[in-house]
């Protein structure tokens, strides 16, 4: 089974290129982020023609996540649970489902808040969201099943995951608090699929549109697949499809695909 994550940076603006990749690579499961449309505007029929079942948690203009699967999708959850009953979150950043494959997998797609600028309510929201994710992920691990939490985490875990660390010192993606929250999530018992399959410095998944970042390979690694022990045991490899960044009208992120035994 191949499970992909891709921040497409507007599904309808980049539909031709996204569909071309899906036709070529045909992942079994994919989670998409920043679809930037409400559920009704997601191009569901285009993906259904390629053999995918579709679940969408959209939002007008901003955010939005989707889950696509060639296997039946069951027990869909849209939205990350709250830590208290009085909390409200109108941002569409979380989708979860059980993939009814021969070996069932639980797959979560996330678009973690960016958090910039630091010192504002946006950074506080990022850290609060990560606390909510930590609490929910801990509960999911109790099922002792293959679980993949994939998506745009908006966190650069280590110095080796950024081409120019100095340029990111003041950014929310590289703050000690963000990185500590990511480590705390891993410490629950999750494996970083890239580190397990490869781990070499320079496995970037994002290049900014500005300042020739792609041409100069000034990338960062922020798109991750975190695996429960049961999923980690089944991981056989991981591929970063960096060539997609060089296509016409690309997203600033590229697909990341984990391969698993089922």
Note whether 186 and 226 are within 8 A (CB). yes
CA–CA gap between residue 239 and residue 154 (Å, rounded): 19
Could you give the 3-state DSSP secondary structure of residue 7? strand
Q: Which of 152, 161, 192, 223 is catalytic?
A: 152
Q: Is 28 exposed, middle or buried (0-12, 13-18, 19+ CB in 10 A)?
A: buried
The CA-CA-CA angle for residues 71, 73, 74, to 5°, reads: 135
Asked if 99 and 73 touch (Cβ cutoff 8 Å), the reply is: yes
Among the options 52, 94, 111, 153, which is catalytic? 111
Flag whether 253 is marked binding.
yes
The reply, when asked if residue 7 is annotated as ligand binding, is: yes
Catalytic residue, chosen from 57, 71, 136, 253, is: 253
Tell whether residue 252 is among the known ligand binding residues.
yes
Active site residue 224: no
**Active-site residue flag, 209:** no
Sign of CA dihedral 98, 225, 112, 55: negative
The answer to whether the annotation marks 134 as part of a ligand binding site is no
Which residues belong to the annotated binding site?
7, 34, 152, 154, 252-253
Active site residues: 111, 152, 253
Which residues belong to the annotated binding site for Mg(2+)?
7, 34, 152, 154, 252-253
């Amino acid at each position: 089974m191949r499970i992909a994550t891709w921040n497409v940076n507007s599904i309808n603006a980049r539909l031709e290129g996204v569909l071309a990749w899906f036709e070529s690579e045909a992942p079994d499961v994919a989670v998409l982020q920043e679809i930037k449309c409400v559920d009704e505007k997601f191009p569901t029929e285009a993906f259904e023609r390629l053999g995918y079942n579709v679940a969408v948690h959209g939002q007008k203009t901003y955010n939005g996540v989707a889950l696509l699967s060639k296997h039946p999708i069951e027990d869909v959850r849209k939205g990350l649970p709250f830590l208290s009953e009085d909390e409200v979150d109108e941002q569409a950043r979380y989708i979860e489902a059980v993939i009814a494959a021969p070996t069932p997998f639980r797959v979560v797609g996330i678009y973690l808040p960016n958090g910039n600028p630091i010192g504002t309510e946006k950074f506080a929201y990022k850290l609060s969201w990560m606390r909510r994710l930590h609490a929910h992920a801990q509960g999911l691990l109790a099922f002792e099943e293959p679980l993949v939490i994939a998506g745009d985490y908006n966190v650069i875990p280590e110095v080796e995951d950024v081409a120019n660390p100095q340029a990111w010192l003041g950014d929310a993606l590289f703050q000690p608090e963000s990185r500590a929250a990511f480590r705390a999530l891993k410490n629950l018992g999750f494996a970083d699929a890239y580190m397990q399959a490869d781990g070499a410095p320079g496995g970037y998944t994002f290049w900014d549109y500005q300042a020739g970042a792609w041409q100069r390979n000034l990338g960062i690694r922020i798109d991750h697949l975190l695996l429960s022990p049961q999923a980690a045991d089944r991981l056989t490899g991981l591929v970063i499809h960096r060539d997609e960044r060089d296509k016409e009208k690309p997203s600033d992120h590229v697909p990341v695909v984990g391969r698993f035994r089922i």
